[in-house]
Every structure is written in structure tokens, then in C-alpha cells.
A and B are shown apart, each in its own frame.
Chain A
Amino acid sequence: MNDIKDTKSVGARINTVLTYAVMIFFTVMAIYPLLWLVMNSFKTTTEFQMNKLGFPKEWVLVNYKDAWVRGKFPRLILNSFIYTGVTTVVTLVFSFMAGFAFAKIPNRATKYLHGSFVIGLLLTLQSIMVPLFLIINWVGLYNTFLGVLIPYIGIAMPMGIYLGTEFIKSIPDALVESARIDGATYLKIFISIIVPMAAPVAVTVAIMTVTGTWNEFMLINILTSSDALKSLPVGVQKFAGALSSDFGKQFAALVIGLVPMLVFYLSFRKEITKGVAAGAVKG
């Protein structure tokens, strides 16, 4: 009996070691490039050219100082906060308002309106890039904050509507109805019943909107021309073009672009992963 148990545990141990080896391999694969980047951002360009894989002999901060000033990062980071903040708040408010109406106020139009948002989940940003550029030009919003914010909000809406409606549907009808009988207006019901209950799913929608908006860089490139309106990713990308031979600065700029999302991720990783899973539960 003991023998059998022992051989089994040897096999199991080999399995365990193999599993660990595979998992560690994937983990190293995932984070090594990022560590490599951070390490090299502390080397001077001259040192990088001679020592591409090792630790810096001397950790220098000059790359960061130069990149910060040359890249006009304070302005870009502020813009990124404006775009992300406004988009997230407006998307949340609009999509939960509509989600409440779709879920709790009977209307024949719901089928079509809600359906059109679900189709929006499948549309790709690239398929609207050119027409959006033309439309924004015609209405005179080219190179304005509003001309960036409105598209950002519209793009974030389908997911917000989808998750918001699904969640509000799960709130018992009786709650809404009894409040109606007590004479509460729909606005009052929305603010005093729906909003407090929907907080968890609002966090999910907020996180998805924040991630998407903060990282967006194609539309803003097309819809604005002035440096004062650009966002952090655009600023980072500049260092890959004209300044690309100055590796030290380039790496420092990349780390500057990396840090905000990294902090955000490590602070909210439970909610972020929950959001990803929720977003995929469609179909």
C-alpha cells in the first residue's frame, strides 16, 4: 500500500515540477521585456549600445529628466486625465440612464434601440475612422477637446449599455413598481434606487472605459493636430520617431507611458479581471 502511494507521489511530483516550470516560463516571458525596458531606461545611450542585456553599471536619472521636459509630459498627462475622466463619467451616466429605461420602462422601441447597441459591440473602430474624421471636420470640431470626447463616449457606450441593462434587469421589478405607486418619478427612482444598487457593475464599466480611453491613440492622432490636445500615448510615440536613436530617452519615455496603467492595474486588478470576464459573457 505504502509502495503504491509512493510511486504515485513521485509521478505527481514530476507533474508538479513540470507544471511549475511551464508556469514560471510564461511568467518570465510576460514580464522580462518590461524589466528589460525599465533596466535600460536607467542606462545612458552609450552604455546601452555596449551593454544591452545586463544591469546598468551606473543607474542614471538623466534620461527621465530629459524625456520629461522634451516630451512635454505634464501637459500630455493632464490631457489624458481630462479625456479619461470626462469620457468615463459621461459614459457611466448615459449608459445607466438608458440601461434603466431599457430594463424597467416598457417601450416598443427598446428591441431596436438596444439591438443597435449590441451590434455596436462588434463594430471595429477602424471601420469608422475615415467617416468620423470627415464628419468631425464638417461640424467644425476638428482639433478640439469636444471633437475627441464625443467619439470616445460613443465608442464606450455599447459596452456600458450592454452591462448596465443586463444588471438593472436583475433588480426586482417590484422595487420599481412600489416606488411608482408611492408616487416617485422615474428620475427619483433612478437616483435613489438604481444608482446605489448598480455600483458594482458601474465599477466594471468604469474600469473598462478608463483602460480603453487612456490607451487610445489612433483617433486622437487623426482628430487633432495641436500638441496642446494630444494625450500621453501620442507623446510616447514621438520618441519612437524623430528621437528614436536616443535610446535612453526613448526607454524613459516608454516607462513614463507604462507607469500610470501599471499602478492602475496593480490597484484594481481584481476588478479589472472581473470586468474582462463580464465583457466576454455575451453571445
Chain B
Amino acid sequence: MSKVHTLADAKREQRRAYWTLVLPGFLVYISVMAFPTVFSVILSLTDYNGGRLFGGKPVSFVGFKWYGRLFVDEYFYLALKNNLWIVLVSLFGQIPLGFFLAYVLHRGLVRNGDFFQTMIYLPTVISTVVIGILWKSFFAPYGAFPELMRLFIPSYEYGISSNPLLPVLFVILWMYTGMYMIIFIANLQKIDGSVIEAARIDGASEGQTLRYIILPALTGVLVVSAILAISGSLKSFDLIYVMTGGGPANRTTVLSIYMFDKAFKGAPNYPLANAISTVMVIISFSLIGLTKWVEHKFGGRE
């Protein structure tokens, strides 16, 4: 009680409180995410391949050797190409479809919208492992898909292996469209309904309302969705790992699977795996930067 509180005391207490509150979370985050990311870049420039970092086999810097190795590997380009397909399906499949569903539900064009919304979103919450194995069995030669096709085309022969990436792309579309639907519904709800009503009374058609009122108001969330789609597409690992493991003959491989194989299958090559993950981070950030730039250049209404 008799203690005199000076301004300096208060400042010190404030600083101490700040760091006490911030540090626990920050330390965990730094050691689990930030440091490993930087560390991965460093390891990709060395010849370190497991074992003790100090006192073991001496580690030396080898420059961009692993990147050179990477850029001449045909599987790298195959993985990159498959990743791009997934990005395309996300951008031009999930987002438009999600928007369409959200629009129908938000404008109240069907009754029991809540039921439809609940069911269409359902695949998104289920474990990727369950989804992956389920669809793998569904599309397998012994599964339901060939049978189902024969109901419509009696002469159907099992031929999905002609393009093994197609089922994967389909499942990605199936699994995540609901997420974009929810994002769009939430943002449609933020648009002032009276503006839309007024436009309709003034004689604007449903299409015009969409073009001139609703879409411009959604520029921001469209960009966010694009970013989510791009970074999500590069993350696509679990599903493909479970469904195809990258096979047959690496034809459904993506960068993350390619990296996983280098690090954890057979003789490990950690530096090469780290080079791949560095390339993934660079691609992801460049694409996001590009999206932001496009928004800045052509959107800019917000």
C-alpha cells in the first residue's frame, strides 16, 4: 500500500506483462513453424543427410546443387504439372460452383436451404483419410464406380487408369466446394439487402443485380478465396497420399508427395527434400503475390 508507483514502474510492469503474455505462444510458434521454414532453406544448401548436426560427419555448403538436380528431374515437372491442375480445378471449379450454390441459398431460391447447406458442406469436415480410402474403394476395379457406369452404359469397361489424375481432381472438387460455398454465403449476408431490393424495384434483372451490385461487393472475398485455393492446392497431400500414393508410376504425384518420397521412402535425401519444400514455399508466395497484384490492378473497388 505504501509503495509509490512511478511512471517508470508502470512502464516496466507493462513491458513485463506484455512479454509474459506473448512469449509462450510465440516460442512454440517460432520453434515449430518459423524456424523450421528458415532451417529448411538452409539445409537445402548443404549436404547434411541425417545424423548428428554437430560432431558427426562434417556438414558443408554445396550451393544450389540440389536445386540443379531438381530442375533436371522429370518427376519434378510431372509433380508441378499435377499441382497446377489442382490449382486450376480449385480456381475454376470450386470457386464458381461454391459461388453458385451460395447464391442460390442466399437469395432463398430454394426452400430448406439449411438442409442443402448442411449436406453439401458435410464432406469438408470428414477426415481426409476416411475420404481418401472411401473414394479409392469407390473408384477401384472392384468398387462401385464401374458397376454404376454399367447401369448407364452396359458395355462400360473399367478404364479410369487411362487418366489416374481425374478421380483425384474430382474428389478434390467434391471435398472442398462446400467450403467456398460457406465463405460466399457469409459474405453475401454482409451486403445490404435494401440495395438489392432497390435495384430490383428500379427494374434491374437478376443478372444485372449480380453483375453490378453483388459481384463488385465480393471482389475482396474472391481474392481471399483465390489465395485459399492456391495455398490449399499446394497443401494437397493427405488425400493423394491415401488415394493413390502418387501412383501408378508417379502419374498422380504432386510436389508434396514427391518431397515426402525423397525424405521418408527408401534412402533419405533430406537436402533434396528441403529444396523441394523451399520451391513450394516460393511458388505459393509468388502466386499469392500475383493474386494480390491482379486485385490491385483490376479490382481496386474496395
Contacts and interface: CB of A to CB of B under 8 A. Distances in A.
Interface of A: 16, 19-20, 22-23, 26-27, 29-31, 33-34, 36-37, 49, 52-53, 94-95, 97-98, 100-102, 105-107, 109, 113, 116-117, 119-120, 122-135, 138, 150-151, 153-155, 157-158, 160-161, 185-187, 190, 211, 214-215, 217-218, 222, 232-234, 236-237, 239-240, 247, 250-251, 254, 257-258, 261-262, 264-266, 269, 272-274, 276-278, 280-283
A157 B219 CA distance: 28
A198 B113 CA distance: 30
Contacts of A211: 125
B183 interface: yes
B121 A273 contact: yes
B285 A122 contact: yes
Given A102-B22, A158-B33, A130 B224 contact: no
B25 A94 contact: yes
6 contacts: A19-B110, A125-B235, A126-B259, A135-B35, A218-B237, A280-B228
Nearest to B187: A277
Contacts of A109: 18, 22
Given A19-B104, A97-B25, A98-B21, A31 B128 contact: no
B134 interface: yes
Given A129-B277, A138-B53, A258-B127, A154 B32 contact: yes
Contacts of A214: 127
Interface string B27-63: 0111111111101100100000010110000000000
A155 B33 contact: yes
B interface residue count range (under 10 / 10 to 19 / 20 to 34 / 35 or more): 35 or more
Given A30-B174, A154-B29, A240-B242, A126 B237 contact: yes
Contacts of A26: 101, 116, 120
A120 B35 CA distance: 11
A134 B18 contact: no
Interface in B9-23: 13-15, 17-18, 21-22
A195 B122 CA distance: 31
B215 interface: no
Given A124-B284, A133-B263, A258-B127, A187 B17 contact: yes
A79 to B, nearest CB: 14
Given A26-B101, A97-B21, A105-B14, A265 B183 contact: no
B36 A258 contact: no
Contact of A250 (B104, B133, B151, B285): B133
B134 A98 contact: no
B135 A190 contact: no
B252 interface: no
A120 B174 contact: no
B7 interface: no
A42 B221 CA distance: 43
A130 B40 contact: yes
Contacts of A215: 126-129
Most chain A C-beta atoms within 10 Å of own C-beta, residue among B122, B178, B221, B273: B122
Contact of B33 (A34, A98, A120): A120
B28 A97 contact: no
Contact of B15 (A37, A107, A234): A107
Contact of A151 (B17, B32, B235, B256): B32
Contacts of B235: 124-126
Interface string B132-171: 1111111000111001100100000000000000000000
Contacts of A269: 118, 121
